[in-house]
Amino acid sequence: MAADPQEYTTTLRPTGNADLDDALRASSDLLSLQKTQAVSPFALTGRIHNDYSRLISALESYGFYAGGITVTVTDGGGKSGAPAAGSHDGRDPDLPEWMQSIPAGHKAQITISAQPGVPFRIGVVTLNPDRGDPPVHLNADEIRAFGMKPGMPAQAESVLAAGVTLQTALTEEGYALASVSKPQAWLRPDTHTLDIAYTVHRGPVVNLGAFDFAGLQRTHPAYIARRLTIAPGELYQPSRIERARQDIASTGLFSDVQVNHGDTLASDGSMPLDFSFREGKRHSVGAEGGYSTDLGGRAGVTWTHNNLFGNAERLRLTALITGLGGSAEQGLGYDFYADLLKPDFGSRSQNMSARLEGIKQELYSYRQTALLARIGIVRRVNRRWNVSFGGQIEQEQIQQMRTNNSYFIASLPLSANYDGTGVDNPITPATHGVRLGASITPSASLTDGTSFFAIMQATVSTYFDLKALGLSRPGRSVLAWRGTIGNVEGASTFAIPPDQRLYAGGSATVRGFRYQGVGPQFANTRYAIGGTSMDAGSFEYRQRIMQKFGAVGFIDAGQVTADRTPFQGTVRVGAGAGARYYTPIGPVRLDVAVPLNRPARGDKWELYVGLGETF
């Protein structure tokens, strides 16, 4: 009794061309469906017949236009019964009846053999003008884009792609209505060549016409017009139009941005563009949290109002409870703040931001209750550099060593930052490149004795992918280094408010030591004094494990002193290891560190949990 469905196995004999074998294998339904879709003998015969044309197309795609395909079917045998005699060609009209004679439980053995033959090459290449057009003459750039030359391998993919790339080149030159037909081809078996012809229509050079914006509900059309990197009257170029679309989409205002145009020009010969928008959610709520043994836990919520006034403004309100059980904390604190962002302030390359913030900290170094307000502008110089400047005022009450002081501080922070890592999202781990940051903050403390001082800080971090040495796959094994240096000029340590002094210790500087646990301390206490100079360095080895996990080993060192010059004082060193779990929004970080030269009253170890790499 014949099997129904008829199971089978398929073998593809190698041709000696690995790429061609891969193409044949990918084209064959016999191979791709043999394990999942067994069919009746008659249906299997149909599958064999269909594979001939599919496999011939694969040969032709690699320039083998005189090749052939042979399919042979035999009884592969089974656990019982004698196998059906003989073998049959896949085109044998008696194949269905013979397959009926294969006993149940036997698999049909199908063997595919390809005979590529002599590879064909490009012969005559002709570019015909469309009806009514002048003869086609390509300039040097268009010739390079087209790429078709006599003598090239006559691979179908290249022949088809040549017309597409030529049309793209023409439209980038402003020929908005340009078209290049699919090629016509003539085989020349006697010379093993393929003659090809394309029909080319240039049309006129076109400028952009009027823009239409559809789907805007809360967003002002004037903001979109200002934000766009293209304008009516400019040369039509699809690549610039697409970059403009992506730029608008990057504002985060919209869940979808599309741009289209018709097949006809406006009466003035320009090409109008139709932009369609789907606005995103206006409000969102998020949660924030983290933990370290020195600062304890922090938890809170964030509420965001997007597109506040219709020009992409963003208001974000955040409420955090801090100091949940940390060794550097004496009690609970809070951090409440409101951020207002005004993008494209005066220029599409700069943003204005403002913050109003209330802070309470119960640190061992000092207790602080403060209200601050600041406003600033961040200007993007280019894709790697940005600068910022602004102003800040702060009214605070600070208790240190049972002494209470009030301060009113006015500051003018200035900073410059460079990012050569190529990473747009700051939470995404960098694998190569350098980051630099430098700031200077002239400040005046105007209460309890006026003092003027300037805080100067600089940080550099660099990342080296061991792929460059051939030791790993890209992004799997990375060495990372960070160096930080700071200095305060203009006032002595105790003339500077405690929260404006320099400290070290914690995840941002020297792990293994509690927050502000590196540097001079008040005698017989664990209270940090702070200093006027600080330096710290970190070295990490980061290793990805499988897809979602990773491990880190690190060593940190740093020092703080009241001297005017960095690199003074007692160097404290910490070392540790950590684990990473990679999520779509960044790696979840868990690090454990110990001090290698623990000071008196210092913690024996520290634990850090957060989102994103330490630097």
pLDDT given for residue 111 in this prediction: 95
Kindly report whether the global pTM for this prediction surpasses the value 0.85.
no
What are the DSSP calls for 62-88, one per residue?
TT-TT-EEEEEEEE---SSSPPPPSEE
Contacts with 476 (C-beta within 8 Å, 6 or more apart), sequence order: 466, 467, 543, 544
pLDDT given for residue 83 in this prediction: 62
105 lies in which domain range?
8-115
pLDDT, tens digit, 9 for 90 and up, residues 519-567: 999 988 888 999 999 999 999 999 999 999 999 999 999 999 998 888 8
**pLDDT above 80: residue 305:** yes
pLDDT, tens digit, 9 for 90 and up, residues 428-456: 899 999 999 999 999 999 876 788 999 99
Q: Is residue 494 assigned to a domain?
A: yes
pLDDT, tens digit, 9 for 90 and up, residues 348-394: 899 999 999 999 999 989 999 999 999 999 999 999 999 999 999 99
Q: Nearest Cα to 547, choosing from 501, 587, 575?
A: 587
177 token code pair: 């209505």
199 token code pair: 């029909």
Q: By the 8 A CB rule, do 554 and 540 touch? A: yes
Pairing of strands 271-279, 208-214: parallel
Among 86, 115, 144, the domain-final residue is 115
pLDDT, tens digit, 9 for 90 and up, residues 103-152: 888 888 999 999 999 999 999 999 999 999 999 999 999 999 999 999 99
Q: Tell me the mean pLDDT in the region 491-514.
A: 94
Residues 103 and 135 placed together within one structural domain of the fold: no
Measure the CA angle with vertex 419, ends 537 and 462; round to 5°.
35
Among 94, 115, 136, the domain-final residue is 115
pLDDT, tens digit, 9 for 90 and up, residues 204-220: 999 999 999 999 999 99
In the chain the first and final C-alpha atoms are separated, in Å, by 71
Residues 224 and 318 placed together within one structural domain of the fold: no
Dist. CA 84–CA 318, nearest whole Å: 78
Q: Nearest Cα to 219, choosing from 276, 146, 292?
A: 276
Among 168, 184, 201, the domain-final residue is 201
Residues 473 and 423 placed together within one structural domain of the fold: yes
Q: By the 8 A CB rule, do 59 and 116 touch? A: yes
**pLDDT above 90: residue 100:** no
Residues 236 and 339 placed together within one structural domain of the fold: no
pLDDT given for residue 4 in this prediction: 75
**146 vs 602, which has greater pLDDT?**
146
On the 0-12 / 13-18 / 19+ scale of CB atoms within 10 A, 337 is middle
Dist. CA 366–CA 375, nearest whole Å: 26
Peptide bond into 204 cis (omega under 30): no
Domain total for the chain?
4
Q: By the 8 A CB rule, do 341 and 306 touch? A: no
